[in-house]
Protein backbone atom coordinates (compact mmCIF):
# COMPACT_ATOMS: atom_id res chain seq x y z
CA UNK A 1 0.00 0.00 0.00
CA UNK A 2 2.87 2.39 0.80
CA UNK A 3 4.43 1.69 -2.60
CA UNK A 4 1.13 2.52 -4.29
CA UNK A 5 0.95 5.86 -2.47
CA UNK A 6 4.49 6.60 -3.64
CA UNK A 7 3.63 5.92 -7.31
CA UNK A 8 0.48 8.07 -7.42
CA UNK A 9 2.33 11.45 -7.30
CA UNK A 10 4.81 10.24 -9.95
CA UNK A 11 1.97 9.12 -12.22
CA UNK A 12 0.14 12.42 -11.74
CA UNK A 13 3.30 14.32 -12.62
CA UNK A 14 3.80 12.33 -15.83
CA UNK A 15 0.18 12.76 -16.93
CA UNK A 16 0.18 16.51 -16.20
CA UNK A 17 3.30 16.98 -18.35
CA UNK A 18 1.70 15.39 -21.42
CA UNK A 19 1.14 17.92 -24.21
CA UNK A 20 -0.97 17.38 -27.29
CA UNK A 21 1.09 17.56 -30.46
CA UNK A 22 0.55 20.68 -32.56
CA UNK A 23 2.35 20.75 -35.90
CA UNK A 24 0.25 23.63 -37.20
CA UNK A 25 2.69 24.59 -39.97
CA UNK A 26 1.80 21.31 -41.72
CA UNK A 27 -1.75 22.67 -42.17
CA UNK A 28 -1.13 26.29 -43.22
CA UNK A 29 -1.52 25.41 -46.90
CA UNK A 30 -3.20 22.65 -48.87
CA UNK A 31 -6.58 21.13 -49.70
CA UNK A 32 -8.91 20.17 -46.86
CA UNK A 33 -12.29 18.65 -46.03
CA UNK A 34 -14.54 19.58 -43.11
CA UNK A 35 -17.40 17.18 -42.32
CA UNK A 36 -20.14 18.07 -39.85
CA UNK A 37 -23.78 17.47 -39.10
CA UNK A 38 -26.65 19.97 -39.22
CA UNK A 39 -30.11 18.81 -38.07
CA UNK A 40 -29.08 15.17 -38.48
CA UNK A 41 -27.82 15.68 -42.04
CA UNK A 42 -24.15 15.20 -42.93
CA UNK A 43 -22.57 18.23 -44.64
CA UNK A 44 -19.15 18.56 -46.26
CA UNK A 45 -17.16 21.68 -47.01
CA UNK A 46 -14.02 21.55 -49.14
CA UNK A 47 -11.46 24.32 -49.03
CA UNK A 48 -8.02 25.17 -50.30
CA UNK A 49 -5.76 27.49 -48.36
CA UNK A 50 -2.48 29.29 -48.94
CA UNK A 51 -0.82 31.85 -46.66
CA UNK A 52 -3.21 34.65 -47.64
CA UNK A 53 -6.43 33.22 -49.11
CA UNK A 54 -8.90 30.42 -48.40
CA UNK A 55 -11.30 29.29 -51.14
CA UNK A 56 -14.24 27.29 -49.76
CA UNK A 57 -16.82 25.21 -51.65
CA UNK A 58 -20.07 24.22 -49.93
CA UNK A 59 -23.09 22.76 -51.75
CA UNK A 60 -21.79 23.92 -55.12
CA UNK A 61 -21.14 27.51 -54.01
CA UNK A 62 -17.63 28.93 -53.81
CA UNK A 63 -16.54 31.68 -51.44
CA UNK A 64 -13.18 33.36 -50.87
CA UNK A 65 -11.80 34.71 -47.61
CA UNK A 66 -8.61 36.50 -46.68
CA UNK A 67 -6.43 34.99 -43.97
CA UNK A 68 -4.56 36.95 -41.32
CA UNK A 69 -2.27 34.63 -39.35
CA UNK A 70 -1.90 35.54 -35.66
CA UNK A 71 0.62 32.76 -35.06
CA UNK A 72 1.27 29.29 -36.54
CA UNK A 73 -1.91 27.88 -34.94
CA UNK A 74 -4.35 30.82 -35.06
CA UNK A 75 -5.78 32.93 -37.84
CA UNK A 76 -8.68 35.20 -38.70
CA UNK A 77 -10.86 34.70 -41.79
CA UNK A 78 -12.72 37.57 -43.46
CA UNK A 79 -14.92 37.06 -46.52
CA UNK A 80 -13.68 39.08 -49.47
CA UNK A 81 -17.16 39.62 -50.99
CA UNK A 82 -19.67 39.33 -48.12
CA UNK A 83 -23.31 39.16 -49.19
CA UNK A 84 -24.86 40.24 -45.89
CA UNK A 85 -24.02 41.60 -42.41
CA UNK A 86 -23.43 38.11 -40.97
CA UNK A 87 -20.79 37.35 -43.63
CA UNK A 88 -19.00 40.63 -42.86
CA UNK A 89 -18.08 39.32 -39.40
CA UNK A 90 -14.57 37.91 -39.10
CA UNK A 91 -14.08 34.36 -37.79
CA UNK A 92 -11.28 33.44 -35.38
CA UNK A 93 -9.85 29.94 -35.97
CA UNK A 94 -7.53 28.12 -33.56
CA UNK A 95 -5.90 24.74 -34.18
CA UNK A 96 -5.99 22.81 -30.91
CA UNK A 97 -4.34 19.48 -31.81
CA UNK A 98 -2.88 17.89 -34.93
CA UNK A 99 -2.46 14.36 -36.22
CA UNK A 100 -0.78 13.09 -39.36
CA UNK A 101 -3.51 14.22 -41.77
CA UNK A 102 -6.06 16.06 -39.62
CA UNK A 103 -6.47 18.69 -36.95
CA UNK A 104 -9.00 19.61 -34.29
CA UNK A 105 -9.91 23.26 -34.14
CA UNK A 106 -12.23 25.72 -32.46
CA UNK A 107 -13.82 28.73 -34.07
CA UNK A 108 -15.99 31.69 -33.22
CA UNK A 109 -17.05 35.05 -34.54
CA UNK A 110 -14.41 37.59 -33.45
CA UNK A 111 -15.53 39.07 -30.12
CA UNK A 112 -18.04 36.26 -29.43
CA UNK A 113 -17.32 33.88 -26.56
CA UNK A 114 -19.49 31.10 -28.09
CA UNK A 115 -16.92 28.69 -29.54
CA UNK A 116 -17.55 25.59 -31.64
CA UNK A 117 -15.20 22.71 -32.44
CA UNK A 118 -14.57 20.59 -35.48
CA UNK A 119 -12.11 18.29 -37.22
CA UNK A 120 -10.54 19.01 -40.60
CA UNK A 121 -8.83 16.41 -42.81
CA UNK A 122 -6.05 17.27 -45.24
CA UNK A 123 -6.82 15.64 -48.59
CA UNK A 124 -3.71 16.30 -50.70
In a domain, 3, yes or no: no
Number of domains in the chain: 1
CATH of the domain at 89: 2.40.128.490
**Is 83 a domain residue?**
yes
pLDDT in tens, the chain (124 residues): 555 455 565 555 555 555 566 899 999 999 999 998 888 899 999 999 998 999 999 999 999 999 999 999 999 999 999 989 988 999 999 999 999 999 999 999 998 889 999 999 999 7
Residue 117 falls inside a structural domain: yes
**Residue 9 falls within a domain, yes or no?**
no
Is residue 25 situated within a structural domain? yes
- DSSP string spanning the chain? -HHHHHHHHHHHHHHHT------GGGGSSEEEEEEEEETTEEEEEEEEE-SSEEEEEETTEEEEEEEEEEETTEEEEEESS-SSHHHHS-EEEEEEEE-SSEEEEEEEETT----EEEEEEE--
pTM: 0.79
* Residue 44 domain boundaries: 20-122
Amino acid sequence: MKKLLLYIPVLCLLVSCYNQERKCKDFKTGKFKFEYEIDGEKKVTYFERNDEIEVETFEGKTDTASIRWINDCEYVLEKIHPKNMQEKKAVHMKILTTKKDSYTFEFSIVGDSNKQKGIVTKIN
